[in-house]
Amino acid sequence: MHAALAEVLKHPAIWRGDGLYRANTEAIDCFHPELAAILPGGGWPKAAVTELLTHRPGCGELRLLLPALARLTQSGQRVLLISPPHIPYPPAWQSAGVDMRYLTWISASTPSDTLWASEQALREPACGAVVSWLKQPLGDQPARRLQLAAEKGGGCGFVLREAHGSIYPSPLALRLSVAAVAGGVTIHVLKRRGAPHHHPVFLPHISPARYPAYGQSHHAVASFTPTRSAARSTEPRPHVG
Amino acid sequence: MANRAAQALGIQSGLRRSAALALAANLQVAKRQPAQETALLGNLANWAMQFTPTVCLDPPTGLLLEIEGCLGYFKGLPRLLGLVVDGLQVLEIQVQHGLASTPLAASWFAQQGVIPATDWRQTLMQLPLAQLPWPPRLLQQLHDLGLRQFGELAGLPRSGMGLRFGTELLGLLDKAMGNEPDPRQPFVPAACFERYLELSWHIEQVEALGFVMRRLLLELAAFLHGRGLGVQHVVFRLAHEGGGQSELPIGFGKLTRSTGDMFAITRERLAGFRLTAPVHALVLKAETLHRLDAEAIGLFGDGQTQADLDLLHARLSARLGEAAVRQLACVADHRPERAWCMASDSATVPAPLPATRPGWLLAKPIALAIRNGQPWHGELLTLLSPAERIESGWWEGESVARDYFQAGGPSGRRYWIYRQRIDGAWFLHGLFA
């Protein structure tokens, strides 16, 4: 390539369709190096709403988000959970590093209240992240409203929704689908700025063996013995320890 | 009385209704409400307490502020006047002000909107007699004598004037010129805020009610500002057509006196409010007032962020309900359903549990079916971890005796399930997400 052309192409406002869009995308670390490599800006984009499509609650969405949320709360930024599907269980969230003082759980009874609360929270600069769980598809207009609110507030917005196959268009810039597979979580990038990325990213489970409590410490030995007897006392059961 | 827009069209007080309507066809004529004016004046007096401790009412529409002692604090007269005028503009109240060394002269100047340029006495002497708030008969007499300015009247021999007009006029002249003391009763601020607003039309829509409430909150904010106070809780009482009443209590979540904050929360509260009948009057009442100026301000500016968050929380709970906005905390209890609580304050219990816990806890455990001798929840569950036995709570009557397992299925989802030790039944209690 001509040297002068290469110089021109360094301008942040120029976007080339065949590469990953990096210019002007401010992001927070997502703490998954494999995922960071394919996200524009190298992490969860700030001042934007990211859509995560899940099959059902509990298919790895927290595995994906918790490290980033934990870091935000540790740095004193507020994280809001709006209409989560179940109780965010404090012992688990706290052991994942989340400072519970900076976590707020908001339960909205109707879909419109969920959207309203998300918009209000996103608009607030003091909120580091707003994670909303929706039961219905996010329409074009609400999605734009949320995006505008996020641009005003500057925090990270996440919209989680259960999707079963059907992919509808959306104005949001980054859309991922999260699915549980044997041994971990796969993430498909449905849409991002820049060239499409078709290969899923695999994040392995933090398996019980990798937890310090079960893996290395003496707890594992102490707690393992009664299990065997418990399992034997009923009937043989396939057991993957 | 006419507002500025009307005055620009040539409308003055004393004009006949028909003449006024001829000058401006779209003129809105409203009846004066003396009770409302008195209440507003009282609130303005409270507001003015921020400038000086000595505020006197000058009914029906005047307010006297003794400012000589406060000039040093406010760094001079022009700045103080600017603060007063700007503050009144925020309150959306149109005023005229005047300045003099005696209360009576100041009151007269204010009615003319005169600010003496150099010497107030000189300005007083040049004041047209026709514009003084005196009985029309007296003004006519003075006019017939050929007196046009205050100075001409004050220059007449006192004895003859006393005989002709009575000693009261002499007293007024002396008080205005400062030759005789003119003590005034200082205003005593109210212990609580209560403002009644009778509407000249009936409100049927919640949105319109919002405008009126904003007006009342503006006055509340002025009241609080003048006194250095804040409120945390106010009550709107609505009087309905047909004699009914309803109440709309509003909690702000923290001490505040900002109209914007208070109205933002009120608006959310109104969004979920249904009017049972048209409203013809409303009362805003703030019974408990707290000192706000004594609040410490953060050195590094975290105060504003925290204030914004408090306001966000207050707005969310105003619309979604108090119970919808929650903080969570760990509790040192072995029973999983007791190991967490809703914490209103930020009291944290460090709970470094030795075992793994799922990110989602089900509010109520789901009983699992058994297929081929294994628990089943949409798929066959396989145990992935050794059991964690939890036996606790027998002393509280909520005894728990369970073996907890992590379990997985072919789909790759992972579950937190337990087997009840009494009957061997399986339950799903959480999801590892």
Mind listing the pLDDT tens digit for each residue in A200-212?
899 887 654 444 3
The domain boundary, picked from B177, B208, B232, lies at B177
Q: Which residues of B touch A100 (CB under 8 A)?
A: 327-330, 343, 348
| Residues of B in Cβ contact (< 8 Å) with A66 | 359
Which of the four pLDDT bands, split at 50, 70 and 90, describes residue A144? very high
The verdict on a CB contact (< 8 Å) between A205 and B354 is: no
Residue A226 binned pLDDT confidence (cut-offs 50, 70, 90): very low
Give me the pLDDT at residue B362, please: 92
Pick the most confident of A90-94, A147-151, A234-238, B318-322. Answer: A147-151
Q: How confident is the model at residue B347 (pLDDT cuts 50, 70, 90)?
A: low
- Long-range residue pairs from B79-87, CB within 8 A, at least 24 positions apart, any chain: B80/B51, B83/B51, B84/B48, B84/B51, B87/B47, B87/B222, B87/B225
Lowest-confidence region among A43-57, A205-219, B236-250: A205-219
Domain match, B155 and B215 both:
no
CA B133 to chain centre: 36
Query: Cα A220 vs. chain centroid, distance in angstroms?
Result: 30
Question: Domain for residue B65, yes or no?
Answer: yes
Residue B182, in any domain of the structure: no
* Confidence grade of residue B76 (pLDDT, cut at 50, 70, 90): confident
pLDDT for the residue B295: 54
Query: What value does the mean pLDDT take over residues B220-239?
Result: 86
Range scoring the smallest mean pLDDT among B176-185, B203-212, B241-250, B302-311: B302-311
Which of B330, B334, B348 to mutate to test binding with chain A, by most A CBs within 10 Å of its CB?
Answer: B330
Percent of chain A whose pLDDT exceeds 70? 79
**B355 at A interface, C-beta within 8 A:** yes
Last residue of a domain, one of B112, B147, B177: B177
Chain B residues within an 8 Å CB radius of A96: 359
- The yes-or-no verdict on residue A225 having pLDDT over 50 is no
Q: Tell me if A241 and B362 make a contact (CB, 8 A cut-off).
A: no
Under the banding of pLDDT at 50, 70 and 90, the label for residue B354 is: low
Higher pLDDT, B1 or A218: B1
What is the rounded distance in angstroms from the CA atom of residue B373 to the CA atom of residue A81?
38
Output the average pLDDT for chain A: 80
- C-alpha pair distances (Å), B314 with each of A112, A175, B281, B306, B377: 18, 32, 27, 12, 40
User: Contacts of residue A103 in chain B, CB cutoff 8 Å?
Assistant: 327-328
Contact B242, B277 (CB under 8 A): yes
d(CA A62, CA A87): 13
Query: What mean pLDDT do residues B74-89 have?
Result: 86
Q: What is the mean pLDDT of residues B146-150?
A: 86
CB atoms within 10 A of CB B398: 11
Q: Which of A86, A109, A126 sits opposite B361 (nearest CB)?
A: A86
Residue B232 within any structural domain of the chain: yes
Q: What percentage of residues in chain B have a pLDDT greater than 70?
A: 94
pLDDT higher at A26 or B402: B402
Are the beta carbons of B431 and A181 separated by less than 8 Å? no
**pLDDT tier at A221, thresholds 50, 70, 90:** very low
Helix then strand then coil, in percent of chain B rounded to 5, is: 35, 25, 40
Contact between chains at A95 and B385 (C-beta distance less than 8 A) = no
Classify residue B66: in a domain, yes or no.
Answer: yes
Same domain, B244 and B173: no
A199-228 mean pLDDT: 51
> Is residue B13 located within the same domain as residue B147?
yes
Three-state DSSP state, A102: helix
Q: Which of A128, A193, A82, A164 is closest to B309 using CA atoms? A: A128
Residues B157 and B16 in one domain: yes
Give percent above pLDDT 90 in chain B: 7
Question: Distance between CA atoms of B140 and B134, rounded to whole angstroms?
Answer: 10
Distance CA A214, CA B168 (A): 99
Chain B 7-66, residues with CB within 8 Å of chain A CB atoms: none
Residue A218 forms contact with B (CB below 8 Å): no
Rounded-to-integer distance, Cα B285 and Cα B62, Å? 25
B400: containing domain: 354-432
Instruction: Tell me if B154 is assigned to some domain.
Output: yes
If one compares B118 and B408, the residue with the highest pLDDT of the two is: B408
- Indicate the range of B41-45, B347-351, B388-392 predicted with least confidence: B347-351
- List the single best residue of A89, A124, A223 to mutate versus B (max B Cβ within 10 A): A89
Task: Look at residue B5 and tell me whether its pLDDT is greater than 90.
Answer: no
My answer on whether B167 and B204 are in the same domain is: no
Closest CB from A86, A105, A240 relative to B326: A105
pLDDT digits (tens, 9 = 90+) for A10-43: 776 776 666 665 556 788 888 888 888 888 888 8
- Note the pLDDT of residue B353: 58
- pLDDT of A41 reads 82
Contact list in A for residue B425 (CB cut-off 8 A) is none
CA A147/CA B62 separation, integer angstroms: 52
- Residues 387-426 of chain B with CB under 8 A from chain A are 387-389, 403, 406, 408, 410-415, 424
Q: pLDDT value at position B304? A: 65
Is residue B149 predicted with pLDDT exceeding 90?
no
A171 at interface of B, judged by CB pairs closer than 8 A: no
Question: Is 90 exceeded by the pLDDT of residue B148?
Answer: no
For chain A, give the percent of residues with pLDDT over 90: 30
**Residue A161 in tokens:** 């929704």
Is a pLDDT exceeding 80 seen at residue B81? yes
Pairing of strands A127-134, A156-162: parallel
* In the predicted structure, residue A147 carries a pLDDT above the cut 90: yes
Last residue of a domain, one of B128, B145, B177: B177
- The DSSP string of B184-248 is -PBPPPPSSEEEEEEEEEEE-SHHHHHHHHHHHHHHHHHHHHHHTEEEEEEEEEEEETTS-EEEE
Q: Are residues B226 and B126 in the same domain?
A: no
Contact state of A101 with B348 under an 8 Å Cβ cutoff: yes
Give Dmax over CA atoms of chain B in angstroms. Answer: 122
Q: Are residues B13 and B136 in the same domain?
A: yes
Q: Are B1 and B13 in contact (CB under 8 A)?
A: yes
B301 vs B65 pLDDT, higher one? B65
Please report which confidence band the pLDDT of residue B24 belongs to, taking 50, 70 and 90 as the band edges: confident
Q: Tell me what the mean pLDDT of segment B348-371 comes to.
A: 80
- Give the Cα separation of A129 and A77 in Å (integer): 8
The confidence score (pLDDT) of residue A227 equals: 39
Smallest CA–CA separation between A42 and chain B, in Å? 23
Q: How is B34-62 classified by DSSP, letter by letter?
A: HHHHHHHHHHHHHHHTTT-S-EEEETTTE
Domain assignment of residue B346, yes or no = no
Number of domains in chain B: 3
Q: Is residue B64 part of a domain?
A: yes
> Domains, chain A, ranges and CATH?
21-206 (3.40.50.300), 207-241 (no CATH)
Is pLDDT above 70 for B338?
A: yes
Residue in chain B nearest A213 by alpha carbon: B354
Split at pLDDT 50, 70, 90, the class of B6 is: confident
Mean pLDDT, residues A169-185: 87
Q: Which two tokens stand for residue A11?
A: 């301008």
Residues 328-347 of B with CB under 8 A from A: 328-330, 336, 339-340, 343, 346
> A60–B358: do the CB atoms touch at under 8 Å?
no
Report, as an integer, the average pLDDT of B5-10: 77
Compute the nearest-CA separation of B324 from chain A (Å).
5
pLDDT at A23: 54
A151 CA to chain B: closest CA distance, Å? Answer: 17
Most confident of A92-106, B5-19, B333-347: A92-106
CA B379 to chain centre: 57
CA pair distance B168, B148, nearest whole angstrom: 20
Q: How confident is the model at residue A220 (pLDDT cuts 50, 70, 90)?
A: very low
**Mean pLDDT (whole number) for B121-125:** 85
One domain for residues B200 and B142:
no
pLDDT at B403 over 90: yes
Res. B180: pLDDT tops 90: no
| Same domain (yes/no): B297, B367 | no
Mean pLDDT of the residues in chain B: 83
Looking at residue A208, its pLDDT comes to 47
* pLDDT(A240) > 50: no
| Contact between B383 and A239 using a beta-carbon 8 Å cutoff | yes
Å from A17 to nearest chain B CA? 35
Highest mean pLDDT among A12-16, B64-68, B114-118: B64-68
Q: Of B126, B65, B52, whose CA–CA distance to B99 is shortest? A: B65
pLDDT higher than threshold 50 for residue A229: no
Query: Which of B292, B228, B218 is closest to B260 using CA atoms?
Result: B218
Question: Looking at residue B351, what is its pLDDT?
Answer: 56
The distance of A100 to chain B (nearest Cα, Å) reads 6
Nearest beta carbon to residue B387 from set A96, A126, A226:
A226
Q: Which of B312, B352, B406 sits opposite A208 (nearest CB)?
A: B406
Distance CA A32, CA A60 (A): 13
With both helix axes pointing from N to C terminus, report the angle between B206-227 and B259-271 in degrees, rounded to the nearest 10.
150
pLDDT above 90 for B135: no
What pLDDT, on the 0 to 100 scale, is given for residue A24? Answer: 61
pLDDT at A217: 37
Q: Is residue B153 part of a domain?
A: yes
Same domain, B232 and B365: no
CA of A158 to nearest chain B CA: how many angstroms apart?
16
Judge whether B376 is closer than 8 Å to chain A, CB to CB: no
Is B314 found in the same domain as B391? no
The shortest CB-CB distance from B433 to any of A59, A179, A182 is to A59
Side-chain-side CA neighbours of B212 within 13 Å: the count stands at 25
Q: How far apart are CA B148 and CA B35, in angstroms?
A: 35
The Cα of A230 is separated from the nearest Cα of chain B by a number of Å equal to: 8
Give φ, ψ of B406 to 5 degrees: -90, 140
Question: Could you tell me if A127 and A80 are in contact, meaning their C-beta atoms sit under 8 angstroms apart?
Answer: yes
Spatial separation of the C-alpha atoms in residues A4 and B101, rounded to whole Å? 78
Half-sphere exposure for A91 (CA within 13 Å, toward CB) = 21
Cβ <8 Å between A224 and B386:
yes
Q: What per-residue confidence (pLDDT) applies to A166?
A: 61
Tell me, yes or no, whether B170 and B206 share the same domain.
no
What is the pLDDT at residue A241? 39
